[in-house]
Amino acid sequence: MTAEQDIQEQVQTAAAGQTPLAIQGGNSKAFYGRTTAGKPLSLADHHGIIDYTPSELVISARAGTSLTELESVLAQEDQMLSFEPPHFGESATLGGSVACGLSGPRRPYTGAVRDFVLGVNCINGKGEYLRLGGQVMKNVAGYDLSRTLTGSLGTLAVLLDIHLRVLPLPALDLTLVQNCSAATAVENCNRWAGRPLPLSAACHLEDRLYIRLSGMAEGVQAAATAIGGEPLDHAGHFWEQLREQQLPFFAGDTPLWRLSVPAATQPLALDGEVLLDWGGAQRWLRSKLPAAAIRSAVAAVGGHATLFRGGDRSSTVFQPLQPALLALHQRLKNTLDPAGIFNPGRMYPEL
């Protein structure tokens, strides 16, 4: 029996017995989302690259494929996953990264995980094998369900195989550092983003703004002259530490909140330490403030807040949905997972 058939059978058995399943890739992101209980369903044995022709800019791999392995195969061909997925551990898998829907520093400039997912093969809660989307960039046949599964935290289906669009590695990356306040950083990052400059990351921490430029050498050098700032040595290490939450800012037990707000929003008056990422669109907050205070402040500017790490993992971790939208989520979940066996409650208590 193949790993795929084995997984399909486990799902069918669980559906028949209404046994909750806890889907696991490398278990590196178990901290994320709400706590869930269930019989572990491991994707670890379903791994390997299925198809990779670099000139197609597409890679197809099984969900249990190690993210590190995948990235090194791409790097050998001067290509990359341009959403720069955080690993959060050596055991991180492709499937877990897609299911969690997390993107790294490049996200505001080249797109999120879901923007690069072209298609998936998966098993729904009835144990049916479904092929959604495909291996080509332009595809409008059928509902775009593979992107909806992305970031659904395994609550809708078990991802088996994933087709991703990949991009060439830039010829040159250059990181510049400027001393400025958070307010100036927000202002400048969004002004630059309105000009055709090859920005690929921008973060502000402790009165220093870090700007990464990526592209052909000529364009990067011209942009560096236009923006100004001191070049940063070993910048690759800095961006990796930011992506992996290994900077000192992320240490300690104080709850870590992820605030997603319109990028040009001025710094919010919330008690706690703040790191601005994504040119202002993503803000990390270390704070013991009550969830309601954080959520209402963020909602007031059109954003939303996630209790990313720490705090009460059985509480509402993600921003609550309006009742009609939650009802629609429940109906959608019911079409894919009618027995409610996949990661129950991992995203919202009702799903």
Residues 74-133 interacting with another protein (rule: CB under 8 A): 78, 101, 103, 107-108, 111-112, 114-115, 124, 128-132
Tokens representing residue 218 in the block:
């000529």
Question: Should residue 176 be labelled a site residue for another protein when binding is judged by CB under 8 A?
Answer: no
Decide if residue 55 touches another protein (CB under 8 A). yes
Q: At closest approach, how far in Å is the CB of 342 from another protein?
A: 13
| Pairing state between β 208-215 and 172-179 | antiparallel
Q: How far is the CB of 100 from another protein (least distance, A)?
A: 11
Nearer to another protein among residue 91 and residue 318 (C-beta): 318
Q: Does 73 bind another protein (CB under 8 A)?
A: no
Give a three-class secondary structure readout of 227-287. HCCEECCCHHHHHHHHHCCCCHHHCCCCCEEEEECCCCCCCCCCCCEEEEEHHHCEEEEEC
Task: Please tell me whether residue 135 binds another protein under the rule CB under 8 A.
Answer: yes
CB of 252 to another protein, least distance (A): 25
Site for another protein (CB under 8 A): which residue of 169, 177, 180, 270?
A: 169
Among 6, 30, 219, 240, binds another protein (CB under 8 A): 219
Residues 9-48 that bind another protein (CB under 8 A): none
What tokens does 257 get? 């909140």
3-state secondary structure of 68: helix
Question: Candidates 91-99, 190-198, 237-245, 268-276 — which segment interacts with another protein by CB under 8 A?
Answer: 190-198
Residue 190 parent element (H or E) = helix 182-193
Q: Which 311-350 positions form the footprint of another protein (CB under 8 A)? A: 318-319, 321-322, 324-326, 328-329, 331-332, 334-336, 347-348
Q: Tell me how far, at minimum, the Cβ of 157 lies from another protein, in Å.
A: 9
The nearer residue to another protein, 37 or 141, going by C-beta atoms, is 141
Minimum distance of another protein from residue 51's CB (angstroms): 9
Extract the runs of DSSP E, i.e. beta strands, from the chain: 21-24, 39-42, 49-53, 58-62, 79-80, 117-124, 129-133, 157-165, 167-168, 172-179, 199-205, 208-215, 230-231, 256-260, 273-277, 282-286, 304-309
Cβ proximity to another protein, 44 vs 80, nearer residue: 80
Cα–Cα distance measured from residue 161 to residue 107, given in angstroms and rounded to the nearest whole number: 23
Neighbouring CB atoms inside 10 A of 72's CB total 10
Q: Which of residues 230-289 bind another protein (CB under 8 A)?
A: 260-264, 278, 281-282
Q: With binding defined as CB under 8 A, does residue 49 bind another protein?
A: no
Round to whole Å and give the CA distance between 64 and 46. Answer: 5
Nearest to 329 by CA among 159, 156, 133, 129: 156
Q: How far is the CB of 90 from another protein (least distance, A)?
A: 25
